[in-house]
Each structure stands twice: as structure tokens, then as C-alpha cells.
């Protein structure tokens, strides 16, 4: 158990809908990262928050947004969902603000768009 908690574990929704994925980082970790993993693309970095502030953006679509709250949990909002958004979405956390710190992954949220 990495200590990173993600909910929900599984989610099935229709195209055009909006969903919110939630992540609680390991106790004491200030950084939260979001990744998308699909079969053909591998693990893709989406966005990084450190202590409530956005630090870096990766391949995150405009239809997606994220935030980190004062209690350090984070939410990833996915809107106007398309079939191609079906993937595993992972949250990871680390103690510091850079990738030099080891990051630990949650178990993921499996999103299926139908």
C-alpha cells in the first residue's frame, strides 16, 4: 500500500458527461501528480500541483482540469467526455516539489466512457 488513495476505483459514464476523480496523497506529501495510462499511449503526465499551486502541465486536454485543496487532496475534472478518454487515471504524490523526490502511485481510477 503506497498510502495514496484514489476514488472511485471504477467509473462508467456516457460520452459528453463530466466526472471528478479524487486523490488523497500520502501523509505529509505536498506534491500531487496526475497521470493517464491507456493501452496505446503508456503513462502520460497530465499535471502537477505543489502545496495548492499548479507547478507543471503535461499533455492535459483543455476539457480536463485539476486542483489541489488546502487539505492537500486533489481532484481531476474531466468534462465533455469522449470514447478516447477511457483509460486508467493515476494520482501520485511526493514530499517535495521536484521530480527528484520519489513519487508514489495510487491504485488508479479506471474510467470507461461508453
Partner 1 sequence: QKEVEQDPGPLSVPEGAIVSLNCTYSNSAFQYFMWYRQYSRKGPELLMYTYSSGNKEDGRFTAQVDKSSKYISLFIRDSQPSDSATYLCAMGDQTGANNLFFGTGTRLTVIP
Told to check if 105 binds partner 1 by CB under 8 A, we report: yes
Residues for the chain: how many in total?
114
Contact in structure between 41 and 26 (CB atoms under 8 Å): no
**10-69 residues near partner 1, rule: CB under 8 A:** 31, 33, 42-43, 45, 48, 50, 55-56, 58
| Burial environment of residue 102 by CB neighbours within 10 A (0 to 12, 13 to 18, 19 or more) | exposed
> Interaction with partner 1 in 63-102: which residues (CB under 8 A)?
88, 90, 97-100, 102
State the cell numbers at 54.
499548479
Applying CB under 8 A, the residues found at the interface with partner 1 are: 2, 4, 31, 33, 42-43, 45, 48, 50, 55-56, 58, 88, 90, 97-100, 102-108, 110
Amino acid at each position: 500500500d503506497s498510502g495514496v488513495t484514489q476514488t472511485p476505483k471504477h467509473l462508467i459514464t456516457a460520452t459528453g458527461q463530466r466526472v471528478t476523480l479524487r486523490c488523497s496523497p500520502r501523509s505529509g506529501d505536498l506534491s500531487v501528480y496526475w497521470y493517464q495510462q491507456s493501452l496505446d499511449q503508456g503513462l502520460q503526465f497530465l499535471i502537477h500541483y505543489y502545496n495548492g499551486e499548479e507547478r507543471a502541465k503535461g499533455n492535459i486536454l483543455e476539457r480536463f482540469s485539476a486542483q489541489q485543496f488546502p487539505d492537500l487532496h486533489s481532484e481531476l475534472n474531466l468534462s465533455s467526455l469522449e470514447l478516447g478518454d477511457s483509460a486508467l487515471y493515476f494520482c501520485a504524490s511526493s514530499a517535495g516539489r521536484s521530480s527528484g523526490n520519489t513519487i508514489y502511485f495510487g491504485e488508479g481510477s479506471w474510467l470507461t466512457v461508453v
